[in-house]
A and B are shown apart, each in its own frame.
Chain A
């Protein structure tokens, strides 16, 4: 039996929980997320000789995970959906909660809305994003990666990351508002007219 590569497990195991969070936000399926993490771990083991010690193992491993996810999508021949980003205004949720009258009702309208949405709803909203936005936003929100780390992980320029996060956040806000409307949350939040 070959000995484990020095440091590989020690580097990998602490990342597994967060890696699962990322995989789940990409696949939105618990079994698929577990399989994706395992596949990425095996691919990373195979490629560990190419990893430069002292560089960012986390970004390196997540790049493998994201590429494995893209590979699965290619096999399933799933095409990224096209979305119209131009018609979504900036500060979408802010505008919606202001129009609802929530800004005058509470000091924390964002908290008031998001406290009523569970993690599953947020993952569902993330899943509805086109792939490239979903991946960048998952790294940004789940891993708390900086733009530089996301650029390093996805091997894209910093400007591309900035644009994907900006647009992804707009789209995410639009989806979350739609979910809140579907579930009657917007209705619950609507300030009651005083008698």
Chain B
């Protein structure tokens, strides 16, 4: 029997189904969930391997992208160049 997407066991202690958990993925990644929402999401993830795998994937994606992008080589004399330009602007 195929269950509707948003169906959940009527006696389920978890008011979050998969759709509700995934709707909060962006806010979870940006650490914007309220403590209550975060707890509800984490309770759902504890019993749902499919959502856990999606959350883990997106969390790693964001973390890896940040790690790589903060490794962009900065020209060694950038600060000197900018400070020199500021000194010249102030002198003129």
**Chain A interfacial positions (CB closer than 8 Å to B):** 1-4, 8-9, 12-13, 16-18, 20-21, 24-25, 30, 34, 37-38, 41-42, 45-46, 90-91, 93-94, 97, 103, 108-111, 114-115, 117-119, 122-123, 141-142, 144, 146-147, 162, 165-166, 169, 172-173
Interface pair A166/B26, CB less than 8 Å apart: yes
- In the bound complex, how far is the Cα of B59 from the Cα of A111, in angstroms? 10
- The size of the chain B interface, using a CB distance under 8 A, is 33
Interface pair B90/A2, CB less than 8 Å apart: yes
Min distance, Cβ A27 to any Cβ of chain B, angstroms: 12
Interface pair A110/B68, CB less than 8 Å apart: no
Min distance, Cβ B34 to any Cβ of chain A, angstroms: 15
Q: 24 pairs across A/B with beta carbons < 8 Å?
A: A1-B91, A8-B86, A9-B83, A12-B82, A20-B74, A21-B70, A21-B72, A24-B72, A34-B78, A37-B82, A38-B81, A41-B85, A42-B89, A93-B57, A94-B54, A94-B58, A110-B58, A111-B60, A111-B64, A115-B64, A119-B72, A123-B69, A141-B66, A144-B66
Complex interface: chain A residues within 8 A of B83 (CB): 9, 13
Q: Which of B53, B60, B71, B82 is within 8 Å of A16, CB to CB?
A: B82
In terms of DSSP, what is the predominant structure of the interface of chain A? helix
Interface pair B79/A13, CB less than 8 Å apart: yes
Among residues of B, the one whose C-beta sits closest to the C-beta of A25 is B69
Interface pair B68/A114, CB less than 8 Å apart: yes
With known contacts A41-B86, A162-B26, A110–B60 Cβ distance under 8 A: yes
CB of B20 within 8 A of chain A? no
Complex interface: chain B residues within 8 A of A30 (CB): 75
With known contacts A16-B79, A45-B86, A142-B66, A173–B61 Cβ distance under 8 A: yes
- In the bound complex, how far is the Cα of B53 from the Cα of A103, in angstroms? 9
Complex interface: chain A residues within 8 A of B24 (CB): none
- In the bound complex, how far is the Cα of B62 from the Cα of A8, in angstroms? 32
The 7 closest A-B pairs by CB, nearest first: A110-B60, A114-B64, A110-B61, A94-B57, A17-B74, A119-B68, A21-B72
Complex interface: chain A residues within 8 A of B62 (CB): 141, 169
Among residues of B, the one whose C-beta sits closest to the C-beta of A39 is B85
- In the bound complex, how far is the Cα of B65 from the Cα of A24, in angstroms? 15
With known contacts A103-B53, A122-B69, A41–B82 Cβ distance under 8 A: yes
